[in-house]
Amino acid sequence: MRLANVKVGRKGNLNVATEIFQVAPSLHMVEVRKAKGDTLEFHKFYKKLSTSLDVVVWKTEDDVQMRKKN
């Protein structure tokens, strides 16, 4: 799936490509990558997306410990 930002950034529209993989019947992995546009805008988008999905995203113990430190 491709998503495009309506607002034009300094390097054009941000286009994000996503791909969903079924790892197991009850586990899916979603790959999110910048297809086109500004890297800084992509990082802002990704941070907002990952924060919004915080309750449904599986994390390892290391991830949890890193978050507590920051």
Q: Which domains does the chain carry? A: 2-69 (3.30.310.80)
Supply the pLDDT for residue 43: 92
Distance set, CA 27 to CA 9, 19, 23, 30, 46 (Å): 35, 14, 6, 10, 21
Please give the average per-residue pLDDT across 16-34, as a whole number: 91
Task: Give the model confidence (pLDDT) of 43-53 as tens digits.
Answer: 988 998 888 88
Residue 22 confidence (pLDDT) above 90: yes
